[in-house]
Chains A and B, each alone.
Chain A
């Protein structure tokens, strides 16, 4: 793991403002930014560990623990609220038996809030991986959850 982390750091360390590109590379590869990466990044960029930790914790996107197999984001912003996202959100939490920032017991799905996916003309919207779905209703959500639980991405 250490070698993988250091290799990713070395790929990006010469860029100006390298920290975010490094964190993205780590999370893309490993699914999260492991604690053991922090001292390695700090040393490579000549920063304190606190500075690196501070950046990781500032941004919603970066995770310090692994997510479930799939991450389901539900948009909570105003446009989606105007089209029933509050109900959709409550439905998803009940269907999965978890709250935001939690992962189902089978490890299949992590539920995360998101504030706008830029899909506001087709609200309410959700995102799984890099795919956004619009005009989502509870039936569609049920079908999606069933698919994700089978390990089949929509």
Chain B
């Protein structure tokens, strides 16, 4: 009999040796005459346990991890392929508390299925949303997305249904669906995990978006730092096309949708939607002034839906199970789930998909297990390099867009980067400005010049030069950047800076927290 064994092909799993483990398992199986079927799945997102190997049993999948290639011989001795006992045995995967306590809607299949198998996707509930959408009117599909309460998961949290409605109503002979897969924020990897672990879910979401607004061409703009996701997406698109889900006549419906994946070239700013569109058009990724909105004049001047990966990948389940099913998760105006990403100095780093409303403390302690270094977590940066540093005394705040915004924090794309008490917050504030110097597109002055001046003034504060006056100057500069920049790059770089100054003034050598 053949044993089914899963070894993730996810970038993070591979970064800690999964490919070597897979090769060792194949080699050992052959040497011992054990017949195995090796599946390269995505990752379950329990990254401290990667490479995590799973075997299929009658009771469900059993996990072992973290497995090194040198453990493989002893795993075979323990007959792990029959779920034998071994020091690395973790038990039934679904019973691991980190996973069991999650609410996986968008990520339900990630780590479970063979990412590029159309039939495996279908066997786990895939294509149901698309089939349903094909039986509905365009207005009904848009209405379902609106009623679900889904908001843009890329960071801006704009209601998805409203964006779609605008594009649906725009008159044009050509419209586009563009997926923003330029996941550049530090501490985020949910887009990558989804594209590597369940690419059909994104593809299905994009087809539904195309049907809903009348767009026949889609582009996935993927960052060049994700070579594995690029390969997986290209294979998945070809497989979907061969199976009749993409092309001139989707499932014999007479409706067309073509899809292409394009690579970025290492510019953080291209995660900003208008800069992304410029880049897709083959230009420098400089931001455009809005209006006109991309929904009216987007790619090549045509009405365009620009949505993040997780936003689009949340659409199939909404169409399959209904808007109400999705909207029943969450709190306030933050409906559904968010795929939080635990990163940085954290013991149990990984992906936690939960309904909005849990606290940072639950996320960091119950899921994350505290810091990796064992020291107290002093602060977390939430929402990427443009997000504020949240101090430990605010860790009980519920993760809800509005509750965070009220404190001048941002949930953004759901990345949470933990720092222990060895962090120097003045250094991190300076880094925020340095990053803006490096990545500003250069179009507007507050961002291009302001960031350079920001680095200089923070350097002076750190060197003890005229501290009080320079802190005032820094606040004034931040005010200019917030109010005078064209996009979020210059407009939000001050948030990590000001939060560091507000909550950790001692790191800047000033005693009292200045009012910011």
Which A residues fall within an 8 A CB radius of B?
16-21, 23-24, 45, 51, 54-55, 58-62, 77-83, 114-123, 125, 127, 130-135
B190's nearest neighbour on chain A, judged by CB, is: A118
Number of residues on chain B facing chain A (CB within 8 A): 62
Please, how many angstroms separate the alpha-carbon atoms of A153 and B185 in the complex?
A: 29
Which residue in A118, A125, A127 is a CB contact (below 8 Å) of B192?
A: A118
Which B residues fall within an 8 A CB radius of A?
11-12, 14-16, 47-48, 50, 183-189, 191-192, 224-228, 262-268, 279-286, 300, 341-346, 349-351, 372, 381, 385, 415, 417-420, 423, 428, 431, 435, 438-439, 441
Which residue in A18, A51, A58, A116 is a CB contact (below 8 Å) of B186?
A: A116
Q: Could you name 10 residue pairs across A and B whose Cβ atoms are closer than 8 Å?
A: A21-B262, A58-B286, A77-B187, A78-B186, A79-B415, A114-B266, A115-B435, A116-B225, A121-B349, A130-B227
Which residue in A18, A79, A122 is a CB contact (below 8 Å) of B282?
A: A18
Q: Shortest 7 CB-CB distances between A and B: which pairs?
A: A121-B349, A19-B282, A77-B186, A120-B343, A59-B265, A82-B344, A134-B15
A-side contacts of B345, CB under 8 Å: 82-83
Please, how many angstroms separate the alpha-carbon atoms of A21 and B268 in the complex?
A: 18
| Docked-complex contact B14 and A131, CB < 8 angstroms | yes
| Docked-complex contact B344 and A123, CB < 8 angstroms | yes
The distance from the CB of A128 to the nearest CB of chain B, in whole angstroms, is 11
B-side contacts of A117, CB under 8 Å: 11, 225
| Docked-complex contact A81 and B431, CB < 8 angstroms | yes
Please, how many angstroms separate the alpha-carbon atoms of A117 and B16 in the complex?
A: 14
Please, how many angstroms separate the alpha-carbon atoms of A117 and B188 in the complex?
A: 9
Please, how many angstroms separate the alpha-carbon atoms of A123 and B183 in the complex?
A: 17
Further contacts, 5 of them, CB under 8 A, given A61-B224, A83-B344, A122-B15: A58-B284, A59-B285, A77-B435, A82-B417, A118-B192
Known: A20-B262, A115-B435, A121-B48. A132 touches B14 (CB 8 A): yes
Please, how many angstroms separate the alpha-carbon atoms of A135 and B48 in the complex?
A: 10
The distance from the CB of B494 to the nearest CB of chain A, in whole angstroms, is 16
| Docked-complex contact B266 and A82, CB < 8 angstroms | no
| Docked-complex contact B283 and A55, CB < 8 angstroms | yes
A86's nearest neighbour on chain B, judged by CB, is: B427
Which residue in B12, B267, B372 is a CB contact (below 8 Å) of A58?
A: B267
